[in-house]
Structure 1
């Protein structure tokens, strides 16, 4: 291929096997701060099976699916490959709408949990 025939990325050169790039602000409606304060990356979340029938879109639906078993915000971010800030905003919306619940975990986090969160954040 000659250098003159190369196409710029994003200039109509989308291939069927590539994922389209979606900017993070598009996933959160332009918001950068969650509507609910106090959501830490180790916050454990759980969604009731009934939340699967809610009319949710894209990332919100995926979060509800993943939270059928308790999962932290950091784990969601790593599993989805989405920025932590974006996941926090979407999770806060889901909590406000009643689709996702914050699991009450009394006491301090076990060292293994803290180490796992640290490792997941580093992997981002």
Structure 2
């Protein structure tokens, strides 16, 4: 007898449903950008949906990068990017972009630190 988790369509349908079919975020967010839950997010996230609330709780304890959020939530990066962009637009998360996005060496350094952090999970 097949278990509910054995359906390969489940892994594809859920992310699509989480973003309500959207694949493009409302704003561009770098993978290494850091998010913190805003005061508004603390108060309103319990009423904004399960995934949004989980992200708000995660980013309420300490700052997390977009890559870390995707890993903790076990969501594809594109899905996490759509959710996080919506939350930033709605004022639930505060976005802290990298200081100099044009400095290639600094971006590589940050991405390497993110990768080390993800491997540690």
Q: TM-score range by the shorter chain?
A: 0.7 to 0.9
Aligned partners of 1:74 and 1:120 also within 8 Å? no
Aligned partners of 1:42 and 1:74 also within 8 Å? yes
Counterpart residue number, 2:85: 92
Which residues of structure 1 form unaligned runs of 5+?
Answer: 1-6, 16-20
Whole-angstrom CA distance in 2 between matches of 1:98 and 1:62? 16
The 5 Å alignment of 1:74-93 reads 74-93=67-86
Q: TM-score by structure 1 length?
A: 0.71
Aligned pair 1:59/2:51, yes or no? Answer: yes
Higher mean C-alpha deviation, range 44-53 or range 60-69: 44-53
Paired residue secondary structure (1:45): strand
Which residues of structure 2 form unaligned runs of 5+?
Answer: 101-105
Q: Which has the higher helix share?
A: 2
Whole-angstrom CA distance in 1 between matches of 2:23 and 2:108? 30
Q: How many residues align?
A: 106
Whole-angstrom CA distance in 2 between matches of 1:120 and 1:82? 17
After superposition, what is the alpha-carbon deviation per residue over 1:53-109, rounded to whole angstroms, capped at 9, x for unaligned? 202111111111111111100000111111111100000100110110112543435
Counterpart residue number, 1:34: 25
After TM superposition, the runs of 4+ consecutive aligned structure 1 residues lying more than 4 A away are 119-123
Q: TM-score by structure 2 length?
A: 0.73
Rg (Cα) greater in structure = 1
| Structure 1 residue 118, shift from structure 2 partner | 3.2
